[in-house]
Structure 1
Amino acid sequence: MHKNTIDHVVIATDFSDNADRALLYAIELCSRLGANLSLFHVLTFDKLDKGEEAVTVIEDKMERLRKNYLYDNKKVRYRTTYIKIGKNKEEELLSIFKEAPVDLLLMGTSGAGKTARLLGSTASFMLHAAPAPVLLIPPHATFEPIRHITFACDYEQIQTLEELKPLAVFAKLLQADVRILHVHPQPANMPLGTAMKSLAVDSLFEEVEHELDFVRGSNPEAGIKQYLETTPTDCLAIKPRKHERGFWQKLLTQSVSDSLIGFLPIPVYAL
């Protein structure tokens, strides 16, 4: 059963400029969510063996982040630092969810041209495997209050309302409105089951200002992109399928990520 608060946000850092900017974003976000913030870095054996990274070097870099951004910052409550060492970066990233209760994992992304590779590997893996929401922060993003969230929703793949509750909590804490978008070839003639699920989702967001939007089209990517170009949106929310290659995993493959995810200068929140 999902709770009604976001208490612990973890930011994964590789100490790059993009990661530092994502940390600044995380600090502002945590101040509005009332959440504690922790730092997280994965040190893989290959980099350790080649001398590219060492535990003492990583600890020094973490201390720099804490001194520069966290220790004297009254906007955020710094919780702790996690440094994981292992062979597989993705597996070690997932291990954080066993190490501590994590309500939101925040990751900075690479710039245009690298987005496809990123979403095809580490970030894509986390979107589909993480047991808690993941927030991707685009490069050069500075924090802006999240007031309008577009939730690109595939009603047909929703199993239970419980799995959508973190988004409702996220929106409520930020006092954001949610537009629940569904792309369908014939919105007026949706299957009864899909229509019933839309009504159930509508009830889940009853404590949040929201509306149901339907876009006519057979191409979800094109419909979502067109909607975002004409509708003020501070954050795109999606619900990737977990542990299987389905609709949303296809949506986040290399060819599509450049035109949709990479096209967005706003954060992407993945349930």
Structure 2
Amino acid sequence: MSQDLSPVERAKYVAARRAAEFVEEGMQVGLGTGSTAAWMVRRLGERVREDGLKIRGVPTSTRTAELAREVGIEVITLEEAGWLDLTIDGADEFDHALNLIKGGGGALLQEKIVATASERMIVIADAAKDVGTLGAFPLPVEVTPFGWPVTQGLVEKLLAAMDVPGRAVALRRVGERPYVTDEGNHILDLQLGRIEDPAALALALNQIPGVVENGLFIGLCTLVVIGHGDGRVELREVAA
């Protein structure tokens, strides 16, 4: 099937299938959101139907929950699971330390909660997501609808004091309407260009009233499964 895909989709496909091999019988698994994660969910569904694999999945979005049920994966809530053996999710960017930017698909809050509640987080990505320094991809920040212009102003004030070359902040929209997350919040996209200190920025953003969570995932990922357009798969762990 992978031969029928574009190089980018083939890279996502092979990475997702390789990552699905880390899922074992009886595991409780966090199921990520996005196009790469969708390939992984479909592969796990195949293993459930064809091999009798018994797992329980905690989705990170309503979209993933619908897909998981469609392919035959038992879906439970994080409250029912309590703790997860493994989360597999995509990323918009990752650096050499396996810090991530996530949230391009709008599910960053659930994704971060699920990843934090897991023994291990594996990221699946195509090679284009591998960057020397985070920040070329817009950083999503989830904010409450109440007073969001005030929150945006506070974010802009913070960025003026941070070591980032770009400081443009825009409310994410769908047509003329603000984008709404599964939790009923909005998202600000920060065009930063480069983030020299992701941990410091993540901490500072979360101190701002109205900010619910940010898309910097620091110290959560232990392994990245990188797919290439020619079908090769590379595994990258945090350097010792």
Q: TM-score, structure 1 length as denominator?
A: 0.27
Identify, as 1 or 2, the structure richer in helix: 1
Q: Which has the higher contact order (CA 8 A, sep 6+)?
A: 2
Q: TM-score, structure 2 length as denominator?
A: 0.30
